[in-house]
Amino acid sequence: MMTRTSLALTCSAAALIVLAASSAGAQQDARLALIRDDATRDVVRAQLVSASSRGLPADPFMSKALEGVAKKATSKSIRAAMAALEKRLRIASSALAPTPSVDELAAGADALSVGVPEKSLKQLRTAAPGRSIAVELGVLTELVARGVPAKQASKLVLDLVARGASGVQLTALGRDVQGDVAAGLKPDVALDLRGRNVLSLLPPPPTVSNVNVRPR
């Protein structure tokens, strides 16, 4: 039987959930109100409903819509962009399973948009199963966007994660490669040089222990 205290706590928790949902809905409505064109606003609202029915977060869709509005895109173009985003988010959700955060989903969708293969997202999740990899995905996206081949960038980021590179080191790597490319260095050469520098500061990759292996 539920005591008065536990009942009160349950009710309080439920009230907080309702309040949070109401707040999120109010914020969404406020952002929708920024879209002055009725047809575009209807398109965005329909896409948000579709995303919600699939369990996808609303924020990336709203950001994409407002980006299109800022660029004075047509409602047709905005609908197409949001549909493409929905596809990438669904792929990212599968690749980053079982419980990707909103930041991870958004970062994964961004990575897919620049040509990072779905396989790389799965490998990153396997390499770091118990924590967020939004930073790693963001750095990978930036590297590929700067012209580094997706295969080369994916391999290096995976190697760095396996060796225990920190978010600070990864972010610095991306920034340094960006600077080198701006200075005229080829993207693949810049990544190779900067990547080797970071790897030299890290411990060797872990090896499979044979302690529990039974002799045949």
pLDDT at 119 over 60: yes
* Residue ranges of domains in the chain: 39-95, 118-204
Report pLDDT for 213: 47
Higher-confidence residue of 37 and 191: namely 191
Confidence tier at 22 by pLDDT (50, 70, 90): very low
Instruction: Round to whole Å and give the CA distance between 157 and 163.
Output: 10
Query: For residue 137, which of 146, 202, 153 has the smallest C-alpha distance?
Result: 153
Report pLDDT for 9: 47
Instruction: Round to whole Å and give the CA distance between 194 and 176.
Output: 7
Confidence tier at 36 by pLDDT (50, 70, 90): confident
Higher-confidence residue of 36 and 59: namely 59
Confidence tier at 5 by pLDDT (50, 70, 90): low
Confidence tier at 209 by pLDDT (50, 70, 90): low
Confidence tier at 16 by pLDDT (50, 70, 90): very low
The upper half-sphere exposure of residue 47, i.e. CA atoms within 13 Å in the direction of its Cβ, equals: 29
